[in-house]
Amino acid sequence: MTKLRNYPTKDPVLVTCGLPYASGQMHIGHLRTYVPADVFVRLLKKLQVDVTFVSGSDTHGTPILTISESLGISPKELYTKYHNHYLETFPKLNINFDNYGTTDDKENVDRTLQIVKEWQKNDYIYAKDLETPYCDSCGRSLPDRFVRGTCPHCSVDARGDECDQGCGRYLEPGEILNPRCAICGSPTRPVTRTHYYFKLSEFEGFLKDYLTNVDGTKNAKNFALGWIKEGLNDWCITRDLEWGIPYPGDEDLTIYVWVDAPIHYISSTEQWAKKIKKPKEWEKYWKPGNGRIVNYIGLDIVHHHCIFFPAMLKASGYNLASAIVASGMVKIEGHNFSRGRGYVVWVIEDYLDRGLDPDYLRYYIAAYTSQTKDLDFSWDTFAEKVNNELVATLGNFLYRAVHFTHKHFGEVPKGKFDSKLKKELETAIDTITDAVNEYELKKVADEVLRIAAVGNEYFQSQQPWKLVKEDKKKTGEVLYNALALSKALAIFIEPFLPSAAETIWGQLGNDPTSVHETLLKDALIPPAIGVKLSKPAPVISKIDEELLAELKQIISDRVTTASAAQSGEVELKLAPIKDTITFDDFQKIDLRAGKILKCEKVKGKDRLLKIEVDIGTEKRTMVTGLGHLYKPEELEGLTGLFLVNLEPKKIGGIESHGMILAVERADKEGAWVPVKLDELPPGSKAA
Ligand SMILES: [Zn+2]
Ligand SMILES: [Zn+2]
């Protein structure tokens, strides 16, 4: 049965990539979306599809503002620095956008205002008074990431706009429970102000139909259909924030960052159209017609791309995405990706600056696992994949074929294309095309490796090194076929390994860069007889053992440093529940009530307080990480719960003999306070 395929297509295809926040260095987590999208774009080109590839830097919203404030620079200075970093780094990884702008560009501001005004005109907006948290000590309103509190859906500690540690839901302003200021930790008080709402609830039926039919990966649409089932609330699209695009009609407010961020897909396409001097060309994608749009996103932004964005476009008459492809997240050495805990691999510092080939990283990211699964990055697996798959299977065949032919013939010898080998290539093209239609790049890579293995087997079974001593003409025929497979492989690997493809293409006697313009079907045409071969050299080289050890050490050092920096501090975010301990383990814990006799700041450490505690049997010195929440005098005289048989540990230069236990007390300010055991005399056994 022939499968129904979306690609190849005569329709033009626009591929977009979720925008990185221009607030920090690029790391491997980012590449989980950009690399597959770039490989996909190159594969579409190989299927002769007219394709445009855009993205840009996200420059608005609270993350940019909080980070720029903490650095004492303007939001624009911050985003310019990192926007330039992204702009320079993507091409180094052979990720080539047709346009890469920013959400602060004039085109994006204009397009956002045009769309919001269209909603106002079409009666999709209404004003409503809203209670939002305000921090008196910081003297500001606390939108989105300026506030933390409890998720109303799953009760896990969450940030203001998203349940980032729990259920992953988008949170509306005012929705979070027990809010506290994310900057200074103070409890907040509610203030009332008029905000503007988008009538998202009116789009429930439309979104259900749209998501049921949209192409792409199942993970994105299934999540979103689940949310719709629970019912959609209207969406507050304004923020009381001094950074962003002013809301038309109430300019003290700014437009929510998740309005103008995806609109950049449109304005980035407009910028591209201007660049190619066909200013109307963007309309072939965004105005209703034949153009198709494929959104590549991470699983963390499904809500924005499957709920908000389609409704936004529908309400203003734009074309919608025909496919949404959501990639799984990235783990580092088996751990959830976390900059704070040291589980991070920086693209420049840890990879490119070490002289590692960008192609290898592209290959790992695109070919390691299914697009929808989490990708576990480990240096050992990285080295294994490079050494065993790329070097031993692919590189080995290419080098043997070209090297041997160059040595004995110097050019493409006379021969006839073996029909069995041709059949293998036809199967490969078919399999690769199917995999493109499933957005499964691992299947493409597996098929490419299979052809390399076919090549190795062919070379091995024909034994040209023996044959050349007996029958040069027959040897030429064998090598002709080996080169035909090499040519096909150069075309097949180009989407994953663009630089290696250029090298092998050049060795086969072609203009190296023209490999990027080849089509999948060109793989069926053997190289022209008599074409001079260039001097061959291995295309892919093994990862050096010493370098590998160094790379592993970097992560392990980073994790050690991060955990040392965090010890002694009370983590405000809720960590995942640890492994179950036995009752015996539990009984080893000695918890006692203790009275805090004295409390003072630890010099030079904002978060640390040194406390003198009477635990009944003796007086102890302990160090707590509550300095950012309490003034010393607030803790003095308080009775709390202490872990008293914890091994002594140096924190902030002071030896701490025990630990104060802090829990969240549900008081009306929602503040975090240590357990108070006012009624208990010091030393009482609590567990
Ligand atoms: Zn504050
Ligand atoms: Zn939640």
Q: How far apart are CA 585 and CA 580, in angstroms?
A: 10
495 Cβ contact partners less than 8 Å away, ≥ 6 residues apart: 38, 39, 40, 42, 43, 46, 444
What's the half-sphere exposure (Cβ side, CA atoms, 13 Å) at 12?
A: 15
Measure 151 CA to ligand 1 centroid, in angstroms: 20
Measure 567 CA to ligand 1 centroid, in angstroms: 24
Q: What's the pLDDT at 574?
A: 43
264 Cβ contact partners less than 8 Å away, ≥ 6 residues apart: 19, 56, 58, 101, 102, 103, 105, 108
Measure 151 CA to ligand 2 centroid, in angstroms: 5
Nearest to 347 by CA among 74, 92, 629: 92
Measure 130 CA to ligand 2 centroid, in angstroms: 21
Pairing of strands 292-298, 140-141: unpaired
Ligand located closest to 187 CA: 1
129 Cβ contact partners less than 8 Å away, ≥ 6 residues apart: 192, 193, 194, 195
Domain spans in the chain, listed from the N-terminal domain onward? 13-113+256-328, 357-524, 583-674
State residue 132 phi and psi, 5-degree precision. -125, 155
Measure 370 CA to ligand 1 centroid, in angstroms: 43
Q: What's the pLDDT at 579?
A: 76
Beta bridge partners of 610: 600, 623
229: burial class by Cβ within 10 Å (0-12, 13-18, 19+)?
Answer: exposed
Q: What's the pLDDT at 570?
A: 36
Ligand located closest to 136 CA: 1
Task: For the chain, report the end-to-end CA distance as a whole number of angstroms.
Answer: 68
Q: What's the pLDDT at 249?
A: 96
Q: How far apart are CA 266 and CA 115, in angstroms?
A: 11
Q: What's the pLDDT at 576?
A: 56
Q: How far apart are CA 630 and CA 604, in angstroms?
A: 16
Measure 161 CA to ligand 2 centroid, in angstroms: 11
Ligand located closest to 629 CA: 1
Global pTM exceeds 0.85: no
At 70, list the tokens: 């903490």
Q: What is the DSSP string of 463-477?
A: -HHHHHHH-HHHHHH
Ligand located closest to 167 CA: 2
In this structure, which topology does domain 583-674 adopt according to CATH? Answer: OB fold (Dihydrolipoamide Acetyltransferase, E2P) (2.40.50)
486 Cβ contact partners less than 8 Å away, ≥ 6 residues apart: 397, 398, 401, 402, 455, 504, 508
Ligand located closest to 180 CA: 1
State residue 546 phi and psi, 5-degree precision. -65, -45
Q: What's the pLDDT at 228?
A: 95
Measure 33 CA to ligand 2 centroid, in angstroms: 24
Measure 157 CA to ligand 2 centroid, in angstroms: 8
Measure 574 CA to ligand 2 centroid, in angstroms: 12
Q: How far apart are CA 329 and CA 301, in angstroms?
A: 11
**In the CATH scheme, what is the code of domain 13-113+256-328?**
3.40.50.620
3-state helix, strand, coil in the chain (%, to 5): 45, 20, 35
Average pLDDT per 10 consecutive residues for the chain, totaling 687 residues:
81 98 95 97 98 98 90 95 98 98 98 98 97 92 93 93 87 93 92 97 98 95 93 95 96 97 98 98 96 96 96 98 96 88 94 96 95 94 96 96 97 97 98 98 98 98 97 97 98 98 97 98 97 94 94 92 66 56 84 87 80 90 80 81 86 85 46 48 52
Give, in degrees to the nearest 5, the angle at Cα 506 between 441 and 494.
Answer: 10
Measure 267 CA to ligand 1 centroid, in angstroms: 35
The neighbourhood of ligand 1, an ion, using CB within 5 A, equals 135, 137-138, 181, 183-184, 186
Nearest to 149 by CA among 131, 130, 171: 171
Q: What's the pLDDT at 668?
A: 40
Q: How far apart are CA 560 and CA 209, in angstroms?
A: 50
Q: What's the pLDDT at 666?
A: 36
CATH class name, domain 357-524: mainly alpha
Ligand located closest to 69 CA: 1
Torsion of CA 80, 313, 166, 67, to 10 degrees: 10
Measure 651 CA to ligand 1 centroid, in angstroms: 26
Ligand located closest to 158 CA: 2
